[in-house]
């Protein structure tokens, strides 16, 4: 084929020719990455002293956990936080005013009186508690205290270890009265979730259950009565009502005088429900047979607290709520509350926001 009949391929333009240069790829346009929410736990040690994981909260954002927070550091540690958690650290109106970015407050507890809920509400900040995590654990603790008073297990264990059994002439010995629960009357003051669980266990022991609360009572096997009747008829009185101005000092000298002589008092609710000086006097005089307490008006108590030196008084250091299972549920529920706050749909709100 003659060369003249072959079409010549056009020459590639020089790379430097701007008219023929390959188009530059356009840069990708990306939106700024949203900052992760900031969460702060002000007093996490009692909830998790190291045996559990904070991972449910860590999933939600940048988490800071403080074992304890003194009052002078509260505002500083709230700074920049979207959600703050507290158990016993007080949050005042001034603290909240210093944290304008705060979107919600989560309790690591059911009670919430350590937070100025009204001040939070005025700023549109929901206060969310955890209502159900410790029901089974607290109900169990009620009967741990009661059985220590009726069977004196710890006392007799100490006597055995001190050599009393080994030195004795008989196969068995005991000190004080050992009391059978079956057939006795058990009075529940405050019939919420925990009160209902306690009532069910009392019935399983064969006890008659009386209860008092503001709303009508329809629980199976539970007789609703007014408070004077409950105090007069109950061999055991167990407190499960919230702490309010009306219930502060509920058990005082006047109401103790209405109780059965030798009755037992159990308090796993709130320490200030009881006038401690009046209860100590009733224990010293023998007017009451004993008290089992997991809470006191000031925690930790002053060494001068009269109940620390009262006879027939069993006191535990506010541990009814603190089983591992309960604390695991508490962290999971607190995380669910935080997620709801961050989603704009808070749950378990106790301050009306």
Question: CA separation (Å) from 285 to 152, 172, 235, 256?
Answer: 20, 30, 17, 12
What distance in Å separates the CA atoms of residue 175 and residue 180, rounded to the nearest whole number?
Answer: 15
- Known catalytic residues? 270, 299, 318
CA distance 5 to 1: 7
Q: What is the DSSP letter of 273?
A: G
For 77, the 3-state DSSP assignment is helix
How far, in Å, CA of 194 to CA of 75, rounded? Answer: 34
Which tokens is 275 given? 């006038």
| Side-chain-side CA neighbours of residue 266 (13 Å) | 29
CB atoms within 10 A of CB 62: 14
- Cβ–Cβ < 8 Å for 68, 40: no
Q: Which two tokens stand for residue 296?
A: 């006191």
For residue 117 the two structure tokens come to 């809920």
Name the helix (H) or strand (E) containing 282.
helix 276-285
Contact 324, 297 (CB under 8 A): no
What strands, in cross-sheet order, belong to the sheet with 290-293?
222-224, 208-212, 185-189, 236-239, 264-267, 290-293, 313-315
Q: Distance between CA 76 and CA 81 in Å, rounded?
A: 10
């Amino acid at each position: 084929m003659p060369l003249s009949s072959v079409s010549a391929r056009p020459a590639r333009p020089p790379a430097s020719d701007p008219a023929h240069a390959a188009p530059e790829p356009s840069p990708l346009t990306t939106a700024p990455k949203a900052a992760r929410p900031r969460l702060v736990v002000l007093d996490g040690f009692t909830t998790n002293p190291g045996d559990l994981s904070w991972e449910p909260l860590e999933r939600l954002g940048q988490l800071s956990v403080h074992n304890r927070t003194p009052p002078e550091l509260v505002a500083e540690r709230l700074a920049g936080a979207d959600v703050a958690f507290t158990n016993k650290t007080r949050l005042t109106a001034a603290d909240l005013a210093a944290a304008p970015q705060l979107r919600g407050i989560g309790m690591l507890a059911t009670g919430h009186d350590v937070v100025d809920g009204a001040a939070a509400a005025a700023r549109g900040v929901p206060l969310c508690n955890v209502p159900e995590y410790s029901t089974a654990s607290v109900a169990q603790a009620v009967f741990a205290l009661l059985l220590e008073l009726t069977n004196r297990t710890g006392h007799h264990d100490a006597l055995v270890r001190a050599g009393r059994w080994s030195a004795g002439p008989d196969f068995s010995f005991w000190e004080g009265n050992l009391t059978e629960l079956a057939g006795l009357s058990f009075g529940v003051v405050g019939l919420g979730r925990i009160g209902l669980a306690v009532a069910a266990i009392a019935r399983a022991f064969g006890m008659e259950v009386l209860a008092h609360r503001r709303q009508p009572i329809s629980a199976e096997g539970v007789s609703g009565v007014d408070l004077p009747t409950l105090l007069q008829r109950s061999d055991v009185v167990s407190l499960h009502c919230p702490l309010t101005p009306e219930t502060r000092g509920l058990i005082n000298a006047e109401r103790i005088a209405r109780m059965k002589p030798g009755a037992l008092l159990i308090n796993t609710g709130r320490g200030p429900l009881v006038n401690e000086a009046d209860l100590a006097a009733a224990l010293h005089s023998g007017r009451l047979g004993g008290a089992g307490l997991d809470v006191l008006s000031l925690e930790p108590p002053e060494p001068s607290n009269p109940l620390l030196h009262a006879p027939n008084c069993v006191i535990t250091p506010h541990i009814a709520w603190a089983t591992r299972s309960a604390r695991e549920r508490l962290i999971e529920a607190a995380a669910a509350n935080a997620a709801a706050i961050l989603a704009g749909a808070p749950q378990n709100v106790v301050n009306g926001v």
